[in-house]
Amino acid sequence: MDSIRIQGGVELQGKVRIQGSKNACLPVLAATLLTGETSLIRNCPKIADVYAMVSLLRELGCSVTWQGNALAVDADSVRGEEIGSEAVTGMRSSLCLLGALIGRCGQVVMEHPGGCVIGSRPIDLHLAALQQMGVTFQEKEGKLLANADRLCGASIHLPFPSVGATENVLLAAVLAQGDTCLTGAALEPEITALCRYLKQCGAEIDGEGTSRLVVRGGRRLYGTEFVIPADRIVAGTYLFACIGTGGNVFLEQAPWEEMDAVLELARSMGAGLCTAEDGVYVQAPDRPSTPERIFTAPHPGFPTDLQSVVLAVAAVSQGETLIRETIFENRFRVAEELRKMGACVEERGADSVLVRGVEELRGGPVEAKELRGGAALVAAGLMARGETTVTGCRYINRGYENICRDLRELGARITGA
């Protein structure tokens, strides 16, 4: 079933365990290709994008088996460098296989990973960086052919801290001949997780957690055991949903140390927060208020992946707020669906919307068109009066293991996909 039904107006109460991070798990799974051995990756979220990545690894000749929520990946017999088309075009995150396969096989043939509704998602930064390492690219019948007779370390600067481009450089650099110095690297926690995994495999990487990464290339890499950190975006989704519905929740395993900007905004909206070793307590205000301006930014700024759910909460908050999206060029698609529920959201130029809080939203039929907008519609349904049906849940299942199960554990009246 591709739809979720929600009876709104119920305060969220209780505790829920936060799943493993989609955006940390995918590059680590790609990195398992770099060792000819077996790695055990624990706390993998059981989501569509991980299932797609598992299929891609199997297509490439890896043996991949689930052991509970761990994945055992044996990359000894990686045979092909042709990455299957259907999985690649539907999933941007397979792009990080490019760097890993170039490192392991020296050549890759893949469908051009297209854009999606939130933006054109170009890959110019990936290509420019890998070209500096000796990779040549050709486009042929819609496919991207990459070749590196000899992959060499290089001094590379990213003009924008692209998460994916940073990951691809790291994945190519660990097996390249010579050292790579990457400046302008992304600071997202998922990069740190990837560095930690690679170092556990035997890679030598300095500068973890900074925008300057130095990789000593050519080291032999070994299989290892690794635990995927909890998903900061899923934790933030439930945190803001609680702020919007009222109530109080405990988000078990929430990686709050990676969420400063999220916690800062939550407090400014009136939430009471108490961090503990194993998670974070959230006490919602009677009615949230929003700051005059909210804007997304690369980490450690406010994450673009939580912009839609904050937009939904701002729709029922006191006052008005200008939300500016600085990362993707089309990440306000959810606004048209929120307006159907009575939200007052006006476009302000290409990259901003003005949200005037209303007393309450009206439940009704709405459609998810992408992952985080879909999660925002579920949050809106929790806050709205009456029943909301969200269709297009296949998008939500790409990033949330089971959003209905999680929210039911917090007392929501929700059924569906």
Residues identified as active-site? 116
Burial of 317 (0-12, 13-18, 19+ CB in 10 A): buried
Binding residue for ligand EPZ, selected from 5, 42, 112, 121, defined by CB under 6 A: 121
Mask: binding to ligand EPZ, 200-219, rule CB under 6 A, as x and -? --------------------
CB nearer to ligand EPZ: pick between 76 and 257 = 257
CB nearer to ligand EPZ: pick between 113 and 246 = 113
Nearest 5°: the CA angle 235, 236, 240 is 120
Q: Which of left, alpha, beta for 61 (phi over 0: left; psi -120 to 50: alpha)?
A: left
Nearest approach, Cβ of residue 222 and ligand EPZ (Å): 25
Binding residue for ligand EPZ, selected from 43, 93, 180, 307, defined by CB under 6 A: 93
DSSP state, 361? P
Q: Which amino acid is at 398?
A: R
CB nearer to ligand EPZ: pick between 78 and 376 = 376
Segment near ligand EPZ (CB under 6 A); pick from 67-75, 121-129, 308-316, 352-360: 121-129
Binding residue for ligand EPZ, selected from 56, 146, 163, 306, defined by CB under 6 A: 163
Burial of 289 (0-12, 13-18, 19+ CB in 10 A): middle
Q: Is the peptide bond before 300 cis (omega within 30 degrees of 0)?
A: yes
CB nearer to ligand EPZ: pick between 22 and 196 = 22
For residues 172 and 135, the answer to whether their CB atoms sit within 8 Å is yes
Segment near ligand EPZ (CB under 6 A); pick from 7-15, 118-126, 147-155, 173-181: 118-126
Which residues, numbered 283-312, are part of the site for ligand EPZ (CB under 6 A)? 304-305
Query: At which residue do the structure tokens 């008005």 appear?
Result: 320
Q: Total residues contacting ligand EPZ (rule CB under 6 A)?
A: 26
Nearest approach, Cβ of residue 7 and ligand EPZ (Å): 27
Q: Which residue's beta carbon is nearest to the bound ligand EPZ?
A: 164
Q: Which amino acid is at 117?
A: V
Nearest approach, Cβ of residue 360 and ligand EPZ (Å): 28
Binding residue for ligand EPZ, selected from 12, 16, 75, 165, defined by CB under 6 A: 165
Binding residue for ligand EPZ, selected from 46, 77, 80, 124, defined by CB under 6 A: 124
Q: Which amino acid is at 156?
A: I
CB nearer to ligand EPZ: pick between 74 and 190 = 190
CB nearer to ligand EPZ: pick between 165 and 384 = 165
The reply to whether 395 sits near ligand EPZ by the rule CB under 6 A is no
Mask: binding to ligand EPZ, 310-339, rule CB under 6 A, as x and -? -----------------xx-----------
d(CA 265, CA 271): 9
Nearest 5°: the CA angle 248, 23, 131 is 155
DSSP state, 211? S
List 15's β-bridge partners, or say none: 250
Query: At which residue do the structure tokens 């000796």 appear?
Result: 134
As given in the structure block, the two tokens for residue 257 are 């140390």
Nearest approach, Cβ of residue 210 and ligand EPZ (Å): 17
The reply to whether 159 sits near ligand EPZ by the rule CB under 6 A is no
The reply to whether 21 sits near ligand EPZ by the rule CB under 6 A is no
Helix count and strand count (H, E) for the chain: 14, 23
d(CA 181, CA 188): 18
d(CA 143, CA 392): 29
The reply to whether 126 sits near ligand EPZ by the rule CB under 6 A is yes
How far, in Å, are 69, 150, 247, 255 from residue 278 at the CA level?
A: 19, 46, 20, 8
Query: At which residue do the structure tokens 């068109």 appear?
Result: 369
CB nearer to ligand EPZ: pick between 284 and 378 = 378
Which residues would be at the binding site for ligand EPZ (CB under 6 A)? 22-23, 26, 92-93, 119, 121-126, 160, 162-165, 188, 190, 304-305, 327-328, 371-372, 399
